[in-house]
């Protein structure tokens, strides 16, 4: 396949209402110290700008009202342990574990993401972590 339009995948941005709450949650989820809130209180980055990908939180005035059309998938070592920790941090479980082992979760403000203790190849085949 030829060269794509984008140089690389730079990161994902999540719209949130409370930057401090969400930065603490996502920093703990990813094991990264959130950067400082910048741009007049409108943005915070989780992870390093030079890393393979980063998560950016953008403060918006409106609440989340519908299902996310895009979500983040995260590999975890143990789904049950991750579920308990996420709920302890203020997140919530939105689905029971699927046959494939994935679980849909939400951050404290309802943004969906999935966790699973497996990876998939480009062809969609499950591979152990």
Question: 80: alpha, beta or left, given left = phi > 0 and alpha = psi -120 to 50?
Answer: alpha
- pLDDT tens, 74-121? 989 899 999 999 999 999 999 988 876 789 999 999 999 999 887 667
Q: What is the mean pLDDT of the chain?
A: 87
Question: Is it the case that residue 129 has pLDDT exceeding 60?
Answer: no
10-61 fold = 3.30.720
Q: In Å, what is the CA distance from 107 to each residue of 2, 11, 45, 50, 86?
A: 37, 18, 16, 25, 8
Residue the block writes with tokens 């953008």: 58
DSSP 124: -
- pLDDT tens, 28-41? 999 989 999 999 98
The rounded percent of the chain whose pLDDT value lies above 70 is 85
Confidence of residue 49 (pLDDT cuts 50, 70, 90): low
Buried b (16+ CB within 10 A) or exposed e, 19-31: beebbbbbbbbee
* Domain residue extents for the chain: 10-61, 68-129
Q: Which helix (H) or strand (E) holds 81?
A: helix 79-88
Confidence of residue 9 (pLDDT cuts 50, 70, 90): confident
Q: In Å, what is the CA distance from 20 to each residue of 4, 74, 103?
A: 35, 22, 25
pTM: 0.84
For 68-129, give the CATH class.
alpha beta
What token pair was written down for 21? 């709450």
pLDDT for the residue numbered 52: 64
């Amino acid at each position: 396949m030829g060269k794509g339009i984008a140089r690389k995948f730079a990161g994902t941005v999540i719209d949130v209402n409370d930057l401090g709450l969400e930065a603490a949650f996502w920093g703990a989820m990813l094991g990264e110290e959130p950067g400082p809130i910048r741009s007049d209180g409108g943005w915070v980055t989780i992870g390093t700008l030079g890393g393979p990908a980063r998560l950016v939180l953008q403060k918006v005035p409106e609440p989340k009202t519908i299902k996310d059309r895009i979500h983040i998938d995260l590999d975890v070592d143990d789904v049950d342990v991750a579920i308990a920790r996420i709920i302890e941090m203020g997140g919530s479980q939105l689905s029971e574990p699927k046959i494939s082992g994935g679980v849909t979760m939400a951050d404290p403000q309802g943004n969906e993401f999935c966790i699973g203790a497996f990876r998939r190849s480009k062809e969609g085949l499950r591979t152990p972590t």
